[in-house]
């Protein structure tokens, strides 16, 4: 019998039995309560990896297997990124790629000593919605088909990135989930004093909505403070936030529970408490 763990968090994860390629739900609970069972295969829920895609027609080449397509969308440092090969998704005619923070995944693997392979659920679990499953008690993977031959994260090595510039502002916020290990002297101080921290999801949601609603410029910089209630957006040199765009951003923030401050090269947005 092959056992499979679906890792959601230390507090809540799920144990399955794999039978004839399908997942059979056994039980749920905190990680510590599930470690009495030996499992080599781990499915990462959507909170534990990053996924982005680009339309097949928008890409004028076939990507290499060791190519990271979304280098301009990821805020994680290049040394910390662990990514899978781009995967052609016929269901929505896109190239999709998933990546994780290697340091975060290594921290998870320490808690799961028998685990050998980590699969992102949107790639390995067939017919799962693109946006993943909501983490309520009724939404398990029971009965879903699990492809153990698909790509998984290998902690033994990290593929080197081949930079490509596909800079879509609306996706950069998604690429920050579920962790953001990067530094900013502007907010944090010296880089050596920076510690890893988790993002405030609502703050990211605000910017995902903002970038999807308004026509904003390509970013030169995106910086978070340590409490994740402030984000500073830096535009490329020469871009001017005209009155119409300022009015649109202010109206959006008023409706979304945030405040905005404009400066010469960008904006600072704060989540209202």
pLDDT in tens, 201-226: 455 556 666 665 555 655 666 666 65
DSSP string for 11-71: S-EEEEEEETTEEEEEEEE-HHHHTTS--SEEEEPGGGSEEEEEEGGG-SSPPPTT--TTT
Share of the chain above pLDDT 90, in %: 20
Q: 89 versus 6: which is more confidently predicted? A: 6
Q: 140 versus 254: which is more confidently predicted? A: 140
Tell me which of 35-39, 103-107, 121-125, 164-168 is least confident: 164-168
The highest-confidence range among 75-84, 119-128, 143-152, 173-182, by mean pLDDT, is 143-152
Q: 192 versus 55: which is more confidently predicted? A: 55
Let me know if the fold of 2-124 is the same as that of 183-271: no
Q: What are the helix (H) ranges across 136-258? A: 169-172, 201-213, 243-256
pLDDT at 23: 94
Average pLDDT, the chain: 73
pLDDT at 225: 61
**Cα–Cα dist 124/87, whole Å:** 11
Tell me which of 44-53, 132-141, 262-271 is least confident: 132-141
- For the segment(s) 183-271, the CATH number from 3.40.600, 3.40.720, 3.40.190, 3.30.1360 is 3.30.1360
User: Is the confidence at residue 112, as pLDDT, over 50?
Assistant: yes
User: Is the confidence at residue 79, as pLDDT, over 80?
Assistant: no
- Report the Cα–Cα distance between both ends of the chain, in Å, rounded: 50
DSSP string for 210-232: HHHHS-PPPEEEEEE-TTSSEEE
From residue 184, how far is each of 188, 226, 234, 258 by CA, in Å? 6, 10, 13, 22
pLDDT at 224: 60
For residue range 25-46, list pLDDT tens digits in order. 999 999 999 988 889 999 999 8
For residue range 142-183, list pLDDT tens digits in order. 999 999 988 898 776 444 343 333 333 333 333 443 333 333
pLDDT at 209: 64
Domain parsing of the chain, residue ranges: 2-124, 183-271
CATH topology (fold) of 2-124: Nucleotidyltransferase; domain 5 (3.30.420)
pLDDT at 210: 64
Q: The whole model's pTM is what?
A: 0.54
């Amino acid at each position: 019998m092959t056992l499979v763990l679906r890792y959601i968090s230390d507090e809540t994860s799920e144990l399955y039995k794999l039978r004839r390629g399908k997942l059979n739900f056994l039980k749920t609970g905190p990680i510590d309560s599930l470690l009495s069972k030996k499992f080599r295969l781990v499915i990462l829920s959507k909170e534990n990896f990053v996924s982005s895609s680009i339309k097949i027609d928008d890409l004028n080449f076939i990507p290499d297997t060791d190519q990271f397509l979304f280098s301009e969308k990821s805020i994680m440092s290049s040394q910390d990124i662990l990514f899978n090969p781009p995967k052609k998704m016929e269901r929505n005619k896109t190239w999709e790629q998933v990546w994780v923070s290697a340091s975060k995944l290594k921290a998870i693997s320490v808690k799961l000593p028998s685990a050998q392979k980590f699969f992102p659920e949107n790639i390995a679990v067939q017919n799962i919605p693109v946006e993943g499953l909501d983490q309520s008690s009724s939404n398990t993977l029971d009965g879903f088909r699990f492809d153990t031959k698909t790509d998984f994260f290998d902690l033994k090595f990290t593929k080197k990135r081949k930079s490509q510039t596909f800079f879509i502002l609306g996706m950069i916020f998604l690429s920050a989930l579920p962790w953001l290990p990067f530094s900013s002297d502007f907010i944090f101080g010296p880089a050596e004093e920076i510690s890893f921290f988790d993002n405030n999801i609502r703050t990211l949601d605000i910017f995902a909505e903002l970038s999807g609603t308004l026509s904003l410029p390509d970013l030169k910089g995106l910086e978070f403070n340590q409490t994740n209630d402030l984000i500073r957006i830096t535009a490329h040199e020469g871009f001017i936030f005209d009155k119409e765009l300022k009015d649109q951003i202010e109206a959006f923030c008023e409706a979304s529970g945030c405040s905005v401050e404009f400066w010469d090269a960008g904006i600072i947005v704060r989540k209202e408490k």
